[in-house]
Amino acid sequence: MTNCDTKNLIKSVRQFCCCFLILLISGLIFCSCSPKLTFKVIGKTQAEYNNAVCILLSDNSCLVCDEACQNICRLKFDKNKLVIEEQIPIADLGVDKEFRVYFEKHPQIRSQKMQDDPTIAYLVFAKYSNMTYSTFHDHFVCLPVGKKIFLCEQCSGEPFSLLSGRYLFDCVSKKLVCVSLLQERSGESITKLSDGRILIVGGQIKDKSTGHLLRTNTTEIFDPVSGKIASGPLLQVGRADHRAVLMPDGRVLVCGGDATSPNFIERWGMYDLVYLDSVEICDVEKNVSKIVGKMLAARTEHTVMALNNEQVLISGGKKSGKLDTFQTNEIFDLSQGQSSETISLATPRQNHCLVCDQQNKLLVVGGEAYVDEDSQPIYRYTIEQADIKQVEKKP
C-alpha cells in the first residue's frame, strides 16, 4: 500500500468517525430535548374523588364533588399556582333553604347511603352545570333543564340492580314528578341535547323470559317540558358502561363500554361480557345511529370530552380482558373515522373527570386504578394538567 492510499484510508476513517459522532450527539440532543409528553401532576387532594362531578365556574375556578357528595373542594389558580380548598361547607355554595326543607320531607328520592346535605349539594351543582354525564352503579345523576332538574339515582347494595328512580324536580314550584322509562335499565348514558331534551342510551336490561341481564341497543328521549318519553334511534351494538358526549353539531358520540357475549356463566347467573372499541354517532333528528370508526383500544369506565366539531378526547378507562387500568389517551377524529395517540396521563386512571378552563388548560381530577385482578382500587388523589394544544397534537 502506497503512502497515498494510506492517507486516503486515514481520511476516510476520520470522516466516518466524525459523521458517526455527529449523529450520536444529534440523537442525544434530540432525546434530551424531546421527551415523551405526559400530563403534569400539579397538586394533590386530601380526599378521594372517584366518579366525581367537576364543574368550571365563571371565575375560572372549578368545583369538584365525589359520587356520594361527601367531599367537596374548589380548585383555583393564584398566579399560575394551584390552590385547593377542601371540605367546603355546603352553605358556602349558596344553598336554597327551601331545597333543604323539601328534601327533608321527601326522603324517597335519596338512595340508602345519601343524607340530606349530599342530595342538596347535587342540586347546587346542577345550578352551575350544563354537562353530559353517565350513570354507574350507586350513582346519583342530575342535569339542569331550564328551571327543572332531571334526577336519577340507583339502588345501593345490589351490584347488578336496575335503576330505582328518575324524577323531574321543578325548582320554582318545588314539585317532584316521577319519570317512568319505557324500559328499566342501568349502566346507561344520559346526555342533555341542544334543545333541552334528554337522551338515554343503552345500558343493561333484564330479559323477561329468563331474568338474565343483557346489554340493550335501545335509546329513549325524555322531554322535560311535556313530560313525555319516546323511543329513540337503535344503536348498532347493545352496550353498557359506555361513554356519550354531545358534539357541537347536536349529534351524540357514543364509544366503548361492554356488550353481552354468547357465553353464559352458570355460577354467576349471567352472560360474559365483551369490551367494545366501536364508536357510534347517534343522530336524534334523523332517528339513526351508525358506527363511524374504532378506538385504538377497547375500554370501559373511561372519560370523554369533545375538543371541537370533529375531535373527541378519550381518556384512561378499564382494559379489556382483565382488571387493569389504562394510562393512555387517544383522540378520535370523526372526519377520518379513526383514533390517534396523544399524550398520556401521568398515572393510570378510570372513572376520573376532565375539565378545560378558560386558559385552555385541561385538568384531570380523581378516579381510581387497578393493577391486577386481585387488587383493591387505588384511588387517585393527584391532579394533572396539560395544555389543550399539547393534547390535540400527536407526541
The tens digit of pLDDT for each residue in 54-98 reads 777 777 888 887 766 667 888 988 888 899 988 776 556 655 555
Residue type, 124: V
- 253 and 244 Cβ atoms separated by less than 8 Å: yes
CB contact set of 149 (below 8 Å; sequence gap of 6+): 123, 126, 142, 143, 168, 169, 171
Cβ-in-10-Å burial (0-12, 13-18, 19+) of 112 comes to exposed
Determine how β-strand 303-306 pairs with β-strand 278-283.
unpaired
For the residues 26-55, what does the mean pLDDT come to?
68
Q: Does pLDDT of 376 surpass 50? A: yes
What's the chain's average pLDDT? Answer: 76
Higher pLDDT, 196 or 3: 196
Distance CA 52, CA 350 (A): 11
pTM: 0.80
For the residues 323-350, what does the mean pLDDT come to?
92
Residue 147: the pLDDT is 72
Q: Does pLDDT of 6 surpass 50? A: yes
Write out pLDDT tens, residues 160-180.
445 445 777 776 776 777 788
Distance CA 270, CA 355 (A): 36
